Structure 1
Amino acid sequence: MKLFRTGLNTGLLALMLAWPAAFAQDGVQVGQMSPLRKIVPAGTGALEQQAAAQYVQTLNQAKQQGALAADNDPQLLRLRAIAKRIIPFALPWNARAKDWKWEVNLLGSKQVNAYCMPGGKIAFYTGILTTLRMTDDEIAMVMGHEIAHALREHGAERAGTATIANIFVRGAEIFAAAKGYDPNMAGQIAGGAAKVTMLKFSRDDETEADIVGLDIAARAGYDPRAGIVLWQKMGMVNKNAPPQWLSTHPSGGSRIEEIRRHLPEVMPLYAKAKSAQLSALPPYQPNVKGISPVTYP
């Protein structure tokens, strides 16, 4: 891991400073980060420290179980190579990111999952690679998405949202008791309303991460159209997913629609990274049956 971090951090700051003005004028636009992330009393830095400690604990547990990929594991080398290309283009999204101690590790598990903790701690599960038969472009879409969560400080935002929700529920209980109503019943009603609100915040975060992830991966030379195929594959393995309005994640169909809507913003970035004319790019070719090639426009 030390060799990976050393090689990755070399020249990142110089690359970041080379084109910040151009970065603001092309690609996707998602606005400012949520002010809710500032509500957490301990601050973002404390969350990053907690995440780092939790990450180390996860790696130690995986190692004890023989589920932590060795540094020479081919799949892990593949993940780290993709990260090395993507991360430089992630830095302009968050001034703190240049100081993060980025790590990428692979955990042996059937889970179809991956994440990036605050502070740049990335983990993929073997299940997502094998179940979805992921290409490098599709891995880049997932990695860009997860990195975007960290860059946009969604963890701190969710913590802030939870703090407000708890205050709202407690206030409803106190008000109900003052008016002679059952405070427990009032708390349950308020809690249900707060939960639905938090689900919506989570879905918004997922959409934002999709969009920012597309931008980052496209700049690194990965085909944004792979995101469409990725969610088509996800649909094949998640046929019993809950309704969108009861989920912390948008439906696969909604995500595909959102990706298509932003292709005009990110496909030129991809073409530039590939030193190709946009009109000359070939269709993105899926590697499974039942999914058609994705063209643009």
Structure 2
Amino acid sequence: MPGRPGWLAWLAWSCAACACLPAIAQEVAVVAAPDDGVRVERRYSRVRTIVPMEVIDQQAAREYEQIKQEAIAKHTLAGDDNPQVKRLREIGIRLLPETVLWNPRAGRWAWEINLIESKLVNAFCMPGGKMAVYSGLLDQLKLTDDEVAMVMGHEIAHALEEHARQRAAQSEISNLGANVVSQLTGFGNLGNFDIGNNARLVSLRFSRLEETEADLIGMDIAARAGYDPRAAVTLWRKMGTVLEMGDEFKSTHPSGRSRIAVLEAHMAEVMPLYAKAMNMPMEKLPAHTPNMANLGGAPVDAGDEDSQRPLKK
């Protein structure tokens, strides 16, 4: 234990570090990706380590069960015999084997895929593989199976890359201040800490960098599963031209030209994966059709330009 002057100096440093959270978040490790497919630089921040993954998984399971129970009470949780539920789960069956390439833990997750009947245009996949799609997303955008796979792949990628863990950890730092910085430096353990009061997982906002990672990794997973990655572009064009600014999915998933440009820049990396899954040469692949005419171009991105900070609603 340092003497009083040293202790006060350390505490002052801790408070200053908390005030400069983005600087802490820059301390990252570059993580390997599969040898083939999409080229994405995976950067894992040291901040996330203050909340153990087991804590996040347990929180996600509790929160997901609460969401399901609320839907059951409102008679909005679609049954197992619902055609759209069967469709989502059939797509999931093809996607899930590809997830372990990006996160080996995914092979041990108790995956769930459910449909909630609602006009809400949204979807999510919580840590541990707890996924839900709202029917408004399927209905309003008239999604093809390829486009559904891109949505599901995107949301699954958020879980695989532990983006919720990152955001929850940063929320705890913001709420607890210097005490949590002490955790970063080895003082104490958050293993039994319940994040539920401070950061509801389903409502966490991801950063622009995290959204890009989810776009690219999700497109890679879907292509390996035999879904046309060109659907990622038409999906986000639909987001930009069909949805109103107030729609939940659009508010948390900006769909402008810069986002589409990134997807197109990586298309040559994932098309061979799709061709291999389809067992045909690239030149024999069928043309992609988006199931909606006159999509037009997507608008220019708007929102938070800091790639590390959560996107603004």
Q: Alignment partner for residue 95 of structure 2, among 86, 106, 118? A: 86
Alignment match, 2:49: 38
CA–CA distance in 2 between the matches of 1:251 and 1:233? 9
RMSD: 2.3
Alignment partners' CA distance in 2, 1:35 and 1:250: 27
**CA 1:26 to 1:140, structure 2 compared with 1: closer, same or farther past 3 Å?**
same
**What is the alpha-carbon distance in structure 2 between the residues aligned to residue 288 and residue 249 of structure 1?**
20
Aligned mate of 2:37, from 21, 27, 39: 27
Distance 1:82 1:34 in 2: 31
Aligned pairs for 1:167-182 (under 5 A) are none
Which sits farther off after the overlay, 58-67 or 145-154?
58-67
Question: Quick check: 1:223 aligned with 2:233?
Answer: no
Equivalent runs, 1:46-195 vs 2, <5 Å: 46-166=55-175
| C-alpha distance in 1 between matches for 2:71 and 2:176 | 37
Deviation at 1:239, TM superposition (A): 4.5
Structure 1 distance, partners of 2:242, 2:175, is 35
**Native 8 Å contact 2:37 2:273 kept in 1:** yes
Contact 1:116 1:150 in 2 (8 A): yes
Q: Name 1:210's counterpart in structure 2.
A: 215
**The one of 262, 275, 282 aligned to 1:278:** 282
Unaligned runs of 5+ in 1: 1-22, 171-197, 293-297
- Taking a change above 3 Å as real, the CA distance of residues 239 and 72 of structure 1, as seen in their structure-2 partners, is closer
The 8 Å contact of residues 236 and 260 in structure 2, kept in 1 or not, is answered as yes
Deviates more, 1:114-123 or 1:155-164: 155-164
Assess if the C-alpha contact under 8 Å between 1:229 and 1:286 holds in 2. yes
CA distance in 2, matches of 1:251, 1:261: 15
Task: Say whether the 8 Å CA contact 2:39–2:269 is kept in structure 1.
Answer: no
TM-fit CA distance, 1:250: 4.0
Range that drifts further, 54-63 or 144-153: 54-63
Contact 1:207 1:250 in 2 (8 A): no
Deviation at 1:36, TM superposition (A): 2.5
1:163 Cα offset (Å) = 3.6
Post-superposition Cα deviations, 1:7-64, rounded to whole Å, max 9, x if no partner, equal xxxxxxxxxxxxxxxx821012333433322122xx1111111111111111111111
More helix by share: 1
What corresponds to 1:236 in structure 2? Answer: 241
- 1 CA distance for matches of 2:59 and 2:176? 24
Question: Equivalent residue of 2:132, what SS?
Answer: strand
CA contact (8 A) 1:102 1:122 kept: yes
Q: 1:20 is matched with which residue? A: none
Deviations 1:135-163 (A, max 9, x none): 10000000000000000000011122334
Would the aligned equivalents of 2:223 and 2:274 in 1 still touch at CA under 8 Å?
A: yes
What is the identity, as a one-letter code, of the residue corresponding to 2:263?
Answer: I
SS in 1 for 2:125: strand
The residue identity in structure 1 corresponding to 2:128 is G
Kindly state the Cα deviation for residue 279 of structure 1 after the two structures are TM-superposed. Answer: 1.9
